[in-house]
Amino acid sequence: MRMNLRFFLCPVIGLTLLAGCQTSKPAASSAMRGTLDLAETQAALLLREVPAAQASNPAPAGKPPLVSPRTVDAQGNLVLVASRDWTSGFWPGYLWLLAEATGHDKWQTPARQYMAFIEPEKTNGTTHDMGFKVYCSFGTGYRYTQDAAYKEVILTSARTLSTRFNPAVGAIRSWDHHQDVWGFPVIIDNMLNLELLFSATRLSGDSSFYKIAVQHANTTLKNHFRPDFSTYHVVDYNPGTGAVVTRTTHQGAAPESAWARGQAWALYGYTLMYRETRDPTYLAQAERVAAYLLGHPNLPADGVPYWDFNAPNIPNEPRDASAGALIASALYELSTYSPQAAIYRAQADKTLVSLAQDYTASAGTNRGFLLLHSTGSKPSNSEVDVPLNYADYYFMEALLRQRHLAAGRAVVDGGPVVNGGMRGK
In a domain, 342, yes or no: yes
- Domain assignment present for residue 411? The answer is no
Exposed / middle / buried, residue 10 (Cβ in 10 Å: 0-12, 13-18, 19+): middle
Asked whether residue 269 carries a pLDDT value surpassing 90, the answer given is: yes
pLDDT of residue 30: 67
Assess whether 228 carries a catalytic annotation.
no
Give residue 180's pLDDT. Answer: 82
How many structural domains are present in the chain? 1
pLDDT at 410 over 70: yes
What pLDDT score was predicted for residue 71?
A: 98
pLDDT at 352 over 70: yes
- Nearest 5 degrees, angle CA 356-CA 359-CA 364? 90
Query: Does the pLDDT value for residue 29 go beyond 80?
Result: no
Higher pLDDT, 5 or 340: 340
Instruction: Give the separation between CA 218 and CA 216, rounded to whole angstroms.
Output: 5
Give the contacts of 416 (CB within 8 A, at least 6 positions apart).
Answer: 143, 144, 145, 146
Angle at 18 between CA 15 and CA 23, to 5 degrees: 125
| Residue 59: predicted pLDDT | 87
- Check whether 420 has a pLDDT greater than 90: no
Report the pLDDT value the prediction gives residue 418, as an integer from 0 to 100. Answer: 40
Question: Would you say residue 45 lies in a domain?
Answer: yes
**Predicted confidence band of residue 412 (pLDDT cuts 50, 70, 90):** confident
Average pLDDT over residues 156-180: 95
Report if residue 252 sits inside a domain. Answer: yes
Average pLDDT over residues 84-105: 97
* Annotation says 129 is catalytic: yes
* pLDDT tier, 22 (very low <50, low <70, confident <90, very high otherwise): very low
Average pLDDT, the chain: 91
State the average pLDDT over residues 78-95. 98
> Residue 374: CB partners within 8 Å, gap ≥ 6?
319, 320, 321, 322, 383, 385, 386, 387, 388, 391
pLDDT tens track for 288-341: 999 999 999 999 999 999 999 999 999 999 999 999 999 999 999 999 999 999
Banded model confidence at residue 26, pLDDT cuts 50, 70, 90: low
Mean pLDDT over 144-155 rounds to 97
| pLDDT score at 414 | 53
- Position 57 scores a pLDDT of 87
In a domain, 413, yes or no: no
Domain range spanning residue 226? 5-406
Residue 116 predicted with pLDDT over 90? yes
One-letter amino acid identity for 127? T
Which of 85, 189, 320, 349 does the annotation list as catalytic? Answer: 189
pLDDT score, position 419: 40
pLDDT band for position 229 (cuts 50, 70, 90): very high
Residue 109: inside a domain, yes or no?
Answer: yes
Q: What is the pTM of this model?
A: 0.92
pLDDT confidence tier of residue 16, bands split at 50, 70 and 90? very low
CATH number of the domain to which 245 belongs: 1.50.10.10
423-to-33, 80, 348, 419 alpha-carbon distances in Å: 6, 30, 20, 12
Whether residue 425 lies inside any domain: the answer is no
Distance of alpha carbon 122 from alpha carbon 134, whole angstroms? 7
Which residues, including other chains, have CB under 8 Å from residue 278's CB and lie 6 or more apart? none
Average pLDDT over residues 21-42: 74
The active-site residue out of 73, 105, 129, 180 is 129
Question: Mean pLDDT over residues 339-353, rounded?
Answer: 97
Q: What is the mean pLDDT of residues 253-258?
A: 96
pLDDT tens-digit series, residues 362-380: 999 999 999 999 999 999 9
Question: Does position 146 have pLDDT exceeding 50, yes or no?
Answer: yes
* Cα–Cα dist 3/9, whole Å: 10
Asked if residue 419 is part of any domain, the answer here is no
